[in-house]
Chains A and B, each alone.
Chain A
Amino acid sequence: MGAEAVIIGEVLISAISALMLWAKSKGLTEEETRKAISEAVKQIEESKPENLPYV
């Protein structure tokens, strides 16, 4: 696969994912959104992007 195809593939996957997440966020009530934010924050606080393997 060429370099351009790889990049386009990655962009499309990320874009579709972002749009699906947008639709998911859009469909929530204010109360549901706040609850979802609290849960997401807990998980993100545990994430360690600096420890992701360097390839």
Chain B
Amino acid sequence: MKTLKSMVPLILALSLIIGCATLTPSQKVLWGLNVYQAQYSLYIERVMAPDLTPSLKETLRKDPSLITGNYINPNLTEDQKKILRVKKDILVQLKPLVLMAAEYNKTGMLPSEDIQNKLTELINKLVEVSEN
């Protein structure tokens, strides 16, 4: 298990580096937007109680602030909760950055290197569920 655990971040980092290196700037922007959306949706799915009706789930997806009390998944372990807290924090930081990067679509100008680096760092953290 320890070997597998130590290899996961390495495989992940290599995949992301190789993957990003072969994308055009606009494909890279789209990839960042899609990762944000996927992780945002995954967070909501994880947090919602599994026995809710499909229509209620649809309502909660539109306004996640309504997910309280009995609507919260009672089966979440403390470890899963810790991961979700980190993810929420990263998603809050990531939203303005991915939208800033998407300006490339209109202006044709890539965001500054600092912003690009921060964006890559946050996406990596989000995917790795790192607490560092």
Contacts and interface: CB of A to CB of B under 8 A. Distances in A.
Nearest to B67: A53
A22 B31 contact: yes
Candidate in A33, A38, A54 with the most chain B CB atoms within 10 angstroms: A33
Interface in A5-42: 5-8, 10-15, 17-19, 21-22, 24-26, 28, 30, 33-34, 36-38, 40-41
Interface residues of A, number: 42
B29 A52 contact: no
A52 B102 contact: no
Contact of B16 (A3, A18, A26): A18
Interface of B: 1, 4-5, 8-9, 11-12, 15-16, 19-20, 22-24, 26-31, 33-40, 42-44, 47, 63-65, 67-68, 72, 76-77, 79-81, 83-85, 88, 91-92, 94-95, 98-99, 102, 105, 123, 126-129
Interface of A: 1, 3-8, 10-15, 17-19, 21-22, 24-26, 28, 30, 33-34, 36-38, 40-41, 43-45, 47-55
22 contacts: A4-B1, A6-B79, A10-B80, A10-B129, A11-B12, A13-B42, A14-B39, A14-B127, A18-B19, A21-B38, A34-B26, A37-B33, A40-B33, A41-B99, A41-B102, A41-B105, A43-B37, A44-B33, A49-B88, A49-B91, A52-B91, A53-B72
